[in-house]
Amino acid sequence: MSDYWNNRYAAKEYAYGEEPNVFFAEEIQKIKPGKIILPCDGEGRNAVYAATLGWEVKAFDSSEEGKAKAVQLASKKNVRIDYLIDDASLIEYPEKSADVVALIYAHLPVEVRTRLYKEAISWLNPGGRIILEAFNTNQLGNSSGGPKDVTMLFNEQIIQELFGTLQTELLQMMHIELQEGEYHKGPAEVLRFIGIKL
């Protein structure tokens, strides 16, 4: 899988643009800056944006090319991010070490997703938040991005199974127009979720 993402991120242009995900940007602006973890953050657009707001940022991805682009973007924006090359099935951070974990299009095979998302809850401080946007199970007919394997997509039931221990602040399946670089463009069916650790 790293080869796939290395190939995608090898181009000079940013595959999903340099600007943050719209939903993530809207939500992170509402929260007093603290510590944030961004799994599967690719070229770093969301990590770098959080850093510009004063967040202490940790991010990871399996792609060396993604990290190189993230470091380049951080330099351009004159901010610092702590970005690791690691595997979503193995990554570890200390428990209660983050105020937010942002899962932005972090689509993974079911067993890896289940493990990572359970870990993500453990990384949160009490009162901490999961912020998630991903393609929902109605996305398969669209050409605006996302896995072609329905088991890697989301619906409300899957979110409740993954994050049932959190207090749900938002859970919404919706149709949007994506404008995020070359690979997230056009009509899309997404799921947005915010959960709070009690």
Q: Where are the alpha helices (DSSP H) in 86-154?
A: 110-123
* Domains of the chain: total: 1
| Backbone conformation region of residue 44, classed left if phi is above 0, alpha if psi is from -120 to 50, else beta | left
Backbone angles phi, psi at 142, to 5 degrees: -100, 155
Count CB neighbours of 84 within 10 A. Answer: 12
Output the six-digit token pair for 9. 């991120």
| Tokens at 10, concatenated | 């090898």
How is 120-175 classified by DSSP, letter by letter?
HHHHEEEEEEEEEEEEBTTGGG-SS---S-GGGSB-HHHHHHHHTTSEEEEEEEEE
Which three-class secondary structure state does DSSP give residue 42?
coil
170: CATH? 3.40.50.150
Note whether 62 and 87 are within 8 A (CB).
Answer: yes
28 close to 52: Cβ distance less than 8 angstroms = no
Q: What angle is formed at CA 148 by the lines to CA 164 and CA 105, rounded to 5 degrees?
A: 50
Q: Is the pTM of this model over 0.85?
A: yes
Q: Are strands 167-180 and 184-196 parallel, antiparallel or unpaired?
A: antiparallel
Cα–Cα distance for residue pair 179/169, rounded to 1 Å = 26
Q: Which domain covers residue 185, as residue numbers?
A: 2-196
Spell out the per-residue pLDDT of the chain, length 198, in tens: 678 999 999 999 999 999 999 999 999 999 999 999 999 999 999 999 999 999 999 999 999 999 999 999 999 999 999 999 999 999 999 999 999 999 999 999 999 999 999 999 999 999 999 999 999 999 999 999 999 999 999 999 999 999 999 999 999 999 999 999 999 999 999 999 999 999
